[in-house]
Chains A and B, each alone.
Chain A
């Protein structure tokens, strides 16, 4: 049992939102104070989230820190929050990244700064809520509400094509999720037929469903989560959104919002529709492999740094979906034996956390350069190491991590997933393994063209190295990336019971 008796999850969710509202009320005139409000709020949120980690019971798969309150009696919907081994690390990641975003925007954002911070704070609260929600209706409300601040962030503080990018982002994700809404309603009505109306995700997981029903629901979920992850071929919104978003927006998008798709697969698709997932796992696996390989090649030819990292995100997120859905193949190969089947999901989870750190770091690096030169074109740079040696060291480190070098967090997740695919099928492993080459190729080539070589032009010659603020952000991220790479055990321990429980859950057919 946890020793925390106060509603920690509600605090984590509402504290940033309250901070955001305070920022709006303070307005741009009080921005000097406002920046500190934003920083203190997000830092406090992160501080509280570490309590979540330290008080987390790693021996159970049950939901912890549970809060429950009647919300909408007519729908039997509850304001129910709780975390398990999947949600907790993602919440901590969210709380970890957001203060960095605040620090990174400190003196860079001068256009309507109060609204900028408010949007990020509100977004943080909503994202934490998404991970903590135990009620499907609450989940959906937060899931959709999250689009609003992001829409605003890209639309106001984005690049030249921001309007196109942000509307595309909104409509794409909105389109993906509405079908999920219909299937949630459908399952709710099924629970009514079973006697007790409920929107609780746990009840959905227990709900008996026929194969056809499961297939429909699975496809609806796939539409929602595949867009979010994003999987090939519904990934096209992401490069646009990333390229146009301000640095902070890109970081949040890559580090956290994409994870919601992966989280959705683990929380909804696998346990609620295990038989449909089993039947259609080939579809997800092939889409993931296409994503990993094809998108890897696409990344190789990008001229724009942000676009390249965006494509690299899609390829890396392919590992998350691949790992999650390998479970069935593994069980088939081992004729129902569940030992070892968990490895894919382990890998997927580690990959999510690690990618959150690395992609965030990569976007921060681009942000550092962009703030100085105002260009995202790779060809505008060259020889940055000569003028920004400290920055270059970080960029090289994160580049290495992005290509999955051992001792960085990028290695752990990819390695686990590739190992799991070896057990499942040699060709899966072969294709997935290509990423080690492709990832190294596009990332290191990017680093080479930007960082190394002779000084390319007078812009690069005039560059000044990272200031204290940037050093702090990059340094903290570097520690996290190396820490997780060298010693991933704590993360794996936290997840273990939850992963095992999920594997048990999906081996039991609902038919």
Chain B
């Protein structure tokens, strides 16, 4: 790829600059609002997201552009991922509003943190150097730690935030240590120069492989892949549901781009080394994720393990080491985000005063109480299980194709067999909703916004499953 060096870095980073300015403004405005006016912050946040989308579309690039002396990249893939991130954050905030208001969490800081986390994702998406990558990782992680602990009266949330923070700090350390090793050997932090440097030194250089191992640890942790997955179930379970929803969606895009920028762009010459590492991580993730999910009784925990298994699938696409594979992984990530947002949204839909709705039992007999939302959840579950005609199936098939194409048919066979194991616990949710009788008489109390958006979300899973080309072609266009 030819790097076009230009001096208009401001334009390449226009969305980030706009967002940061908006964050400062919202922070200031929020100080002067009392609790009854908090909706202003919420509205401003939504406006900011729309503004970001406008700026990104306005300054969209046709080809890769680098800025700030190579520290910053703008490329079509990045634009698509950013737009998708805005959408995800917007949807997750829409889902969360009622829950936050009900639980006294509807405070300005929540939205500020969410926006800063999003800024972190954007910086990672556009990272052109290892330092920028790290900057993005920390912006995102630190905001997430705070968000997990946001319900400060909740002991469980505090505990999981602590776990997340300690483990996250260690993994960031590992990532940084790996970066420093790469810098020591290749003599550069910039990703495109790193790719050249690795070739000069030789991919089998022991220092590079040593550094790579630490980088992989960092990436696997951010993804929540086995064996660095321990934080995922606890954080998903312990955090307030809106935060779980947030962590389960946009940061997955960040993890994906982290792997792409560092592994596929910076260390592409070392594909043989990281492919083997990722194969092990991916298989382990699919096994642990799918098997342990069966034993869960809490839906948030179950979805946490389900995430782990999906991460295994995303890694399958990345480890193929081909453009096909990256495209498949990107498609998988985007579809996963759509499905995850919907699934956690369902929990928020069910929740009401004094009722979290996050136990599997809470879904009992939902088909009786609300046939429509039971159908939405059914579509989400079948899609997550990878059953056609829902979009999750196409994500699986894209990834499997990439893996078979590089001669790893056995890995594809292992993956599909494990996905059958996974199908079981998604079926159990459907069983509870459709085959069991309701255990209480409460009806869904959620408001119109969440109903409408969640309906659209579920229908999207079906529509994209019947016409997968819409999203597939998009991924193919930005990752040719």
A residues bordering B, Cβ < 8 Å? 27, 71-75, 115, 137, 140-142, 144-145, 147-148, 151-152, 155-156, 162-163, 166-167, 170-171, 174-175, 178-179, 181-182, 185-186, 188-189
Contacts and interface: CB of A to CB of B under 8 A. Distances in A.
A171 B424 contact: yes
B404 A170 contact: no
A189 B407 CA distance: 10
B388 A188 contact: no
Interface in B366-422: 371, 382, 387-389, 393, 397, 400-401, 404-405, 409, 412-413, 416-417, 419-420
Contacts of B400: 181-182, 185
B472 A155 contact: no
5 contacts: A137-B397, A155-B435, A175-B417, A181-B400, A185-B404
A72 B472 contact: yes
Closest 10 pairs (CB-CB, A-B)? A178-B416, A141-B388, A155-B435, A175-B420, A144-B388, A145-B389, A74-B472, A182-B412, A72-B469, A185-B401
Contacts of A137: 397
Interface in B426-475: 427-428, 430-431, 434-435, 468-469, 472-473
A140 B400 CA distance: 15
A178 B419 contact: yes
A167 B387 CA distance: 14
A81 B387 CA distance: 22
B61 interface: no
A480 to B, nearest CB: 32
Contact of A189 (B388, B393, B405): B405
A182 B400 CA distance: 7
Contact of A167 (B371, B393, B419, B424): B424
A145 B388 contact: yes
A185 to B, nearest CB: 5
Interface of B: 371, 382, 387-389, 393, 397, 400-401, 404-405, 409, 412-413, 416-417, 419-420, 423-424, 427-428, 430-431, 434-435, 468-469, 472-473, 476
A144 B420 CA distance: 12
A189 B401 contact: yes
A182 B435 contact: no
Contacts of B389: 141-142, 145
Given A144-B393, A163-B431, A174-B387, A74 B476 contact: yes
A4 B132 CA distance: 64
Nearest to B417: A178
Contacts of B469: 71-74
B473 A73 contact: yes
A166 B419 CA distance: 18
Contact of A185 (B371, B397, B430): B397
Contacts of A147: 387
Contacts of A72: 468-469, 472
Contacts of A189: 401, 404-405
Contacts of B420: 171, 174-175, 178
Given A174-B420, A178-B419, A178-B420, A152 B412 contact: no
B401 A181 contact: no
A114 to B, nearest CB: 9
A148 B419 contact: no
A179 B413 contact: yes
B396 to A, nearest CB: 8
Contacts of B387: 144-145, 147-148, 174
B205 to A, nearest CB: 33
A155 B434 contact: yes
B413 A182 contact: yes
A83 to B, nearest CB: 21
A151 B423 CA distance: 13
Given A140-B388, A144-B388, A174-B387, A167 B427 contact: yes
A170 B397 CA distance: 20
B404 A182 contact: yes
Nearest to A71: B469
Contacts of A73: 469, 473
Nearest to A162: B435
B468 A179 contact: no
A336 B24 CA distance: 83
Nearest to B469: A72
A140 B393 CA distance: 11
Contacts of A148: 382, 387
A186 B434 contact: no
B125 to A, nearest CB: 23
Contacts of A178: 416-417, 419-420
A145 B389 CA distance: 6
A142 B400 CA distance: 19
A331 to B, nearest CB: 31
B393 to A, nearest CB: 7
A23 B400 CA distance: 37
A186 B409 contact: yes
Contacts of B401: 75, 185, 188-189
